[in-house]
Amino acid sequence: MKIASITPMNYTKGELNYFQFIRGGVGADCHQGPSFYQFSDGCVQMRWGAYDIQECSGDTASLYCTTNDMGITWSNPQIINFLSGTPEREIVQLKNSNKAISFGCVTRHNLVVDEKTKKVTSHSNYFNASTRVYLRRSDDGGNTFGMPEEIPYLLISGNKELANVGFYAGVDNVLLLESGRIIVAYTFMDPERIGNSNDVQAQHYTGACILSDDEGKTWRRSQEIVATTQRGVMELQMVETAPNKIFTLFRTKSGYVYQTTSDDGGETWSESIPSPLTAPESMTRMIQLKSGNILVTRNNVCSKTQYPRHPIVASISKDSGATWSKDKTIAVESGKNQLSNHSMIQLDDGRILHAISHYRAVFPVTSDLDMAIYDEEWILKD
Q: Encode pLDDT of 336-366 as tens digits.
A: 999 999 999 999 999 999 999 999 998 888 9
Contact by Cβ (8 Å): 44, 345 = yes
Of 130, 33, 41, 132, the C-alpha closest to 90 is: 33
Contact by Cβ (8 Å): 26, 46 = no
| pLDDT of the residue at 122 | 78
What percent of the chain lies above the pLDDT cut of 70? 97
Distance, in Å, from the CA atom of 62 to the CA atom of 80, rounded to the nearest integer, reads: 5
Contact by Cβ (8 Å): 158, 235 = no
Mean pLDDT of 100-108: 92
Mean pLDDT of 162-185: 96
pLDDT band at 85 (very low <50, low <70, confident <90, very high): very low
Mean pLDDT of 118-130: 84
CATH of domain 17-380: 2.120.10.10
pLDDT band at 81 (very low <50, low <70, confident <90, very high): low
| pLDDT of the residue at 302 | 98
pTM of the prediction?
A: 0.96
Q: For the chain, how long is the longest CA-to-CA vector?
A: 56
Distance, in Å, from the CA atom of 310 to the CA atom of 229, rounded to the nearest integer, reads: 22
| pLDDT of the residue at 180 | 97
Look at 200-209, 246-255, 295-304 and tell me which has the smallest mean pLDDT.
Answer: 200-209
| pLDDT of the residue at 86 | 38
- The alpha-carbon radius of gyration of the chain (Å, integer) is 20
**Residue 119: pLDDT above 80?**
no
Q: Domain spans of the chain?
A: 17-380
306 contacts: CB under 8 Å, gap ≥ 6: 280, 281, 282
Distance, in Å, from the CA atom of 43 to the CA atom of 66, rounded to the nearest integer, reads: 7
**Residue 160: pLDDT above 60?**
yes
| pLDDT of the residue at 88 | 47
Indicate the average pLDDT of the chain. 94
Beta strands at 61-67 and 78-82: parallel, antiparallel or unpaired: antiparallel
Strand partners, 369: 22, 357
Residue type, 40: S
| pLDDT of the residue at 112 | 78
Mean pLDDT of 216-244: 98
